[in-house]
Structure 1
């Protein structure tokens, strides 16, 4: 693993750990000035404070259980793509616990800073199922 790839993995995993505290200010230290976040549903959020505020409405609390972090260097640009996958666990606002909610976060790291992230998870599908609106059983 090259130094840039190993460093990108470290940066992303540290950012995610700080985001789960939540420590939006600490997490923001790993972001570029032109950082862009696209959250589930295509929502554009301004960074860790925005995702913490969104999560506070959707969950009583939520954490990530990392399963794996894969990294790939783009030889042409020098950017590193970091794919962190795992499961969300926590409680819905009504206090019902959940676990096994799949997620993937895709990051782009350039010059030692996170420039973008795309966040996907199964929360919307689980909420539709709980409301009796799922098209098929989960």
Structure 2
């Protein structure tokens, strides 16, 4: 991995660390002014506080168990995928774990320009039997 891709990967790691605290103010240090986040259900946010607010309504609390990063350096940008599982509690206090997620980041000049977020939460909310281990 080249130096630029390594720096861009670190920006994603730092952003995710801040986002999971949650600390959207710190997470904003790692995003470009043109940042766009396309969240589950095609919700679009332009700051890290958007997903944080959405998660606060959807979960009592939620964290990521990151399994791996896939990094694809390009000529002018780096694409980083973060893959793993969500765990936490629903608003009613019911615990959950092993909720698959994939985040895709586009990073330019060490700052996140865009991200796409997918996970199983909506399916689990619609049919809780999907979440059974």
Aligned to 1:69: 69
Do the aligned partners of 2:77 and 2:109 also contact (CA within 8 Å) in 1?
yes
Q: Which has the larger radius of gyration?
A: 1
1:13 counterpart = 2:4: no
The count of residues paired between Structure 1 and Structure 2 equals 132
**Helix, strand or coil at the partner of 1:29:** helix
Structure 1 residues without counterparts, runs of 5 or longer: none
Q: Is 1:31 equivalent to 2:31 in the alignment?
A: yes
Does structure 1 conserve the Cα–Cα contact (< 8 Å) formed by 2:70 and 2:82?
yes
Structure 2: segments with no counterpart, 5+ residues: none
**Residue 66 of structure 2 contacts residue 84 of structure 2 at CA under 8 Å; is this kept in 1?**
yes
Q: Deviations over 1:8-53 (max 9, x none)?
A: 1111011000001011010001110101110001110122111111
Q: Distance in 1 between matches of 2:35 and 2:49?
A: 13
2:34 touches 2:46 (CA, 8 Å); kept in 1? Answer: no
RMSD after superposition = 1.5
Name the TM-score, length of structure 1 as normaliser: 0.91
1:40 and 2:14 correspond: no
Tell me if 1:100 matches 2:133. no
Residue deviations 1:57-100 (CA, integer Å, cap 9, x gap) = 1000000000001100123xx10000000000000000000000
Q: Distance in 2 between matches of 1:91 and 1:44?
A: 24
Match of 2:109 in 1: 111
